[in-house]
Structure 1
Amino acid sequence: MAGEKRAPRLHVDGAILGYKRGLRNQHNSVSLIKIKGCDSKEDVDFYLGKKVAFITKAADGAFRVNWGKVCRHHGGNGVVRCRFRRDLPPQSIGGRVRVMLYPSRV
Structure 2
Amino acid sequence: MPARLYVKGTFLGFRRSLYSQRCSTSLIGVEGVKTKSDARFYLGKRVAVVYKKSSKSDQCGMIWGKIVATHGNSGVVRAKFESNLNPRWMGRTVRVMMYPYKA
TM-score of the superposition, structure 1-length normalised?
0.93
Instruction: Give the alignment partner of residue 76 of structure 1, picking from 73, 77, 85.
Output: 73
Report the count of equivalent residues.
Answer: 101
Instruction: Give the alignment partner of residue 27 of structure 2, picking from 25, 32, 47.
Output: 32
Q: What's the C-alpha RMSD, in Å, of the aligned pairs?
A: 0.6
What CA deviation, in whole Å up to 9, does each residue of 1:19-75 have, x standing for no partner? 000111000000000000111010011100000001001122111000000000000
The whole-number CA distance in structure 2 between the counterparts of 1:88 and 1:21 is 15
Tell me if 1:88 matches 2:70: no
Tell me if 1:12 matches 2:7: yes
How much does 1:79 deviate? 0.2
> Which of structure 1's runs of 4+ aligned residues deviate more than 3 A?
none
Identical columns (%): 43
* Pairing of 1:37-76 with structure 2 (within 5 A): 37-59=32-54, 60-76=57-73
SS in 1 for 2:47: strand
TM-score of the superposition, structure 2-length normalised?
0.95
Unpaired runs of 5+ residues, structure 2, are: none
Larger Rg: 1
